[in-house]
């Protein structure tokens, strides 16, 4: 015989079309099936205490279908116009069912596990007992235990009575799944008599490293870390809360996991010029932990979209330079703020980016000292700061999409001679090389004066090379 514990009115079983045999309800809302008369394939009741455990963790199957079969209409059914037959009153149909529930005989469970669904710290020990109802004519020696589907050794058992078998579990590890480990009591033939969920883990740690940013002053996104240890082995809820510093009630963030596993997004209704208090609460079966409170002003944590319309082009015939131009983020064009930019670039066959930090607030820059005949990828990002007079540094935007361009190839033939001037020009060439090497080094900062001098020198030097490499018609090789 099999006993399935139900959940009362909330968890009634659906029988229409399932082929289930008649059953006798108990006053507790459970349902008794005689041998061979179990629920049909469409049964959707609650079976937690009789083996409806999934391999991935303890499940709690709930059914909300009514006991009384309901005749459904076909998809093409149309009710004829005009008055139809009156609907029969519902109370006369339900009254006999209610009387049956009140006068039904109580029936016993097949077995009971104690403790039921315990929560334990990692390293704890547990002794659980399985007591079989006398109506099932099973003895302690007819029972055995499994944990997550693995049979536990008989050496850990102890018969505490004719129908009670215990199992001792020592130094428990964290639960293999956050929904709990399955501890199940079986009969000799493998039948499931009762089950319990073991929740073994750690209490949550105080969340740390809360950081927030506002995209164009329209929303707020915050991230945090769960703590130094991180894993609790139990389902842990994280709740981000916030309020205005000097007044207002606590508010709870609703949109989680928008920027990673430990993040939340507040989409609207944020106040400017007023600081917020923000904190995170972590809770699980073993306790609650609250982070430190972070105070911030929305204007101090503004970020924006990447710079738009990034263009990279050659600088005439200069073989070691590229010009980069871009537009300011359009979302902040109506706000009073300053901006600073960064550029990063790399060659086509490399993953290493070089960063130009001191671009300033201009929207163009000249990259110098590049390799001739080489494809470069360039990206730009923006940091808005000083919005409405805020003195805090802003937050860098994401990098723009990579834009590619190539430098001109060198016109000197491969393997060609490098003609040297006379001895009288050697000192001058060395001094010029050292001086313009210094100019070249400082051109990364996009200094207009340095760029101008460097451009003039490069043009002069390339023309000089072309003149010296030409072979006059009257010359003999």
For the segment 67-77, what is each residue's pLDDT rounded down to a tens digit? 333 333 333 44
Mean pLDDT of 322-334: 83
Please report the pLDDT score of residue 273 as a whole number: 86
Return the residue matching tokens 């360039």. 378
Return the residue matching tokens 């507040």. 266
Residue 453 has pLDDT above 90, yes or no: no
Confidence of residue 45 (pLDDT cuts 50, 70, 90): very low
Q: What is the 3-state secondary structure (H, E, C) of 204-234?
A: CCCCEEEEEEEECCCCEEEEEECCCCCCCCC
Answer with the residue of higher pLDDT: 60 or 126: 126
Please report the pLDDT score of residue 352 as a whole number: 93
Q: What is the 3-state secondary structure (H, E, C) of the chain?
A: CEEECCCHHHHCCCCCCCCCCCCEECCCCCEEECCCCCCCCCCCCCCHHHCCCECCECCCCCCCCCCCCCCCCCCCCCCCCCCCCCCCCCHHHHHHHHHHHHHCCCCCCCEEEECCCCEEECCCCEEEEEEECHHHCCCHHHEEEEECCEECCHHHEEEEECCEEEEEECCCCCCCCCCCEEEEEEECCCCEEEEEEEEEECCCCCCEEEEEEEECCCCEEEEEECCCCCCCCCCCEEEEEEEECCCCCCEECCEECCCCCCEEEECCCCCCCCCEEEEEEEEECCEEEECCCEEECHHHHEECCCCEEEEEEECCCCCCCEEEEEECCHHHCCCCCEEEEEEEEEECCCCCCEEECCCCCCCEEEECCCCCCCEEEEEEEEEEECHHHCCCCCCCCCCCCCEEEECCCCCCCCCCCCCCCCHHHHHHHHHHHHHHHHHHHHHHHCCHHHHHHHHHHHHHHHHHHHHHHCCCCCCCC
What are phi and psi for residue 435, nearest 5 degrees?
A: -65, -50
Answer with the residue of higher pLDDT: 166 or 38: 166
CB-based contact 375:405 (threshold 8 Å): yes
Answer with the residue of higher pLDDT: 330 or 285: 285
Lowest mean pLDDT among 101-110, 165-174, 181-190, 219-228: 101-110
What's the mean pLDDT when you consider all of the chain? 74
- Find, among 177, 216, 215, 167, the residue nearest to 198 by Cα: 177
CB-based contact 207:282 (threshold 8 Å): yes
- Find, among 267, 269, 263, 292, the residue nearest to 279 by Cα: 292
For the segment 209-239, what is each residue's pLDDT rounded down to a tens digit? 999 999 888 899 999 999 877 789 999 999 9
Residue 347's alpha-carbon distances to 312, 400, 407, in angstroms, are 14, 17, 11
CB-based contact 228:209 (threshold 8 Å): no
The Cα–Cα gap between 262 and 258 comes to 9
Lowest mean pLDDT among 279-283, 374-378, 381-385, 418-422: 418-422
For the segment 145-154, what is each residue's pLDDT rounded down to a tens digit? 999 999 999 9
- Find, among 263, 258, 394, 403, the residue nearest to 329 by Cα: 394
Confidence of residue 387 (pLDDT cuts 50, 70, 90): confident
Residue 423 has pLDDT above 80, yes or no: no
The most confident of 7-11, 253-257, 423-427, by mean pLDDT: 253-257
Domains of the chain: 1-67 (no CATH), 111-201 (2.60.40.10), 208-301 (2.60.40.10), 304-406 (2.60.40.10)
Please report the pLDDT score of residue 300 as a whole number: 87
Residue 456 has pLDDT above 80, yes or no: no
Answer with the residue of higher pLDDT: 254 or 444: 254
Which positions ≥6 away from 384 have C-beta within 8 Å?
A: 302, 303, 304, 329, 332, 337, 338, 339, 394
The Cα–Cα gap between 362 and 129 comes to 76
Lowest mean pLDDT among 23-32, 179-188, 198-207, 395-404: 23-32
Around Cβ 157, how many Cβ atoms within 10 Å? 18
Mean pLDDT of 271-275: 87
Percent of the chain, pLDDT > 70?
62
User: Angle at CA 29, nearest 5°, toward 25 and 31?
Assistant: 40
The most confident of 18-22, 35-39, 340-344, 408-412, by mean pLDDT: 340-344
Could you give the angle at which helices 448-469 and 423-442 cross, rounded to 10 degrees? 140
For the segment 51-101, what is each residue's pLDDT rounded down to a tens digit? 334 444 565 432 333 333 333 333 344 444 444 444 455 555 555 555 554
Return the residue matching tokens 């709870």. 252
Mean pLDDT of 362-369: 90
Chain centroid to Cα 167, Å, comes to 39
Mean pLDDT of 240-260: 90
Around Cβ 343, how many Cβ atoms within 10 Å? 25
The Cα–Cα gap between 232 and 177 comes to 11
- Find, among 199, 227, 246, 231, the residue nearest to 290 by Cα: 227
CB-based contact 354:368 (threshold 8 Å): no
The most confident of 72-76, 189-193, 333-337, by mean pLDDT: 189-193
Answer with the residue of higher pLDDT: 431 or 184: 184
The Cα–Cα gap between 266 and 176 comes to 33
Chain centroid to Cα 42, Å, comes to 36
């Amino acid at each position: 015989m099999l006993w399935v514990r139900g959940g009362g009115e909330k968890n009634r079983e659906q029988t229409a079309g399932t082929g289930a045999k008649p059953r006798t309800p108990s006053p507790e809302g459970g349902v008794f099936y005689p041998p061979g008369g179990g629920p049909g394939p469409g049964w959707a009741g609650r079976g937690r205490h009789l083996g409806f455990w999934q391999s991935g963790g303890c499940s709690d199957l709930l059914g909300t279908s009514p006991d009384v079969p309901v005749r459904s209409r076909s998809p093409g059914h149309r009710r004829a116009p005009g008055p139809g037959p009156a609907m029969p009153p519902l109370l006369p149909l339900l009254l006999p069912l209610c009387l049956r529930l009140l006068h039904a005989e109580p029936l016993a469970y097949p077995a009971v596990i104690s403790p039921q669904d315990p929560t334990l710290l990692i390293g704890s020990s547990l002794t659980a007992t399985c007591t079989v109802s006398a109506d099932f004519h099973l003895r302690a020696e007819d029972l055995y235990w499994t944990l997550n589907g693995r049979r536990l050794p008989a050496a850990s058992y102890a018969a505490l009575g004719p129908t009670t078998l215990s199992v001792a579990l020592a130094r428990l590890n964290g639960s293999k799944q956050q929904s709990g480990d399955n501890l199940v009591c079986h009969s000799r033939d493998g039948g499931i008599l009762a089950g319990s969920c073991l929740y073994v883990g750690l209490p949550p740690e105080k969340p740390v490293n809360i950081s927030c940013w506002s995209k164009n002053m329209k929303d707020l996104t915050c991230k945090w870390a769960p703590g130094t240890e991180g894993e609790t082995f139990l389902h842990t809820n994280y709740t981000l809360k916030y309020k205005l510093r000097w007044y207002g009630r606590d508010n709870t963030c609703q949109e989680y996991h928008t920027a990673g596993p430990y993040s939340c997004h507040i989409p609207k209704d944020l106040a400017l010029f007023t600081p917020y208090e923000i904190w995170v609460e972590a809770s699980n079966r073993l306790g609650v932990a609250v982070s430190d409170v972070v105070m911030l002003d929305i204007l101090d944590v503004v970020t924006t979209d990447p710079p738009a319309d990034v263009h990279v082009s050659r600088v005439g015939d200069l073989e070691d330079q590229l010009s980069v131009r871009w537009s300011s983020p359009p979302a902040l064009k109506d706000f009073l703020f300053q901006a600073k930019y960064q550029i990063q670039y790399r060659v086509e066959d490399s993953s290493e980016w070089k960063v130009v930090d001191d671009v300033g607030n201009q929207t163009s820059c000249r990259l110098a000292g590049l390799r001739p005949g080489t494809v470069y990828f360039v990206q730009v990002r923006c940091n808005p700061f000083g919005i409405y007079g805020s003195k805090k540094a802003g937050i860098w935007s994401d990098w723009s999409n990579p834009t590619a361009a190539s430098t001109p190839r060198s016109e000197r033939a491969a393997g060609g001679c490098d003609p040297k001037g006379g001895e009288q020009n050697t000192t001058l060439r060395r001094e010029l090389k050292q001086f313009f090497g210094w100019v070249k080094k400082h051109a990364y900062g996009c200094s207009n004066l340095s760029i101008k001098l460097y451009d003039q020198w490069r043009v002069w030097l390339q023309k000089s090379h072309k003149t010296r490499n030409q072979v006059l018609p009257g010359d003999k090789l």
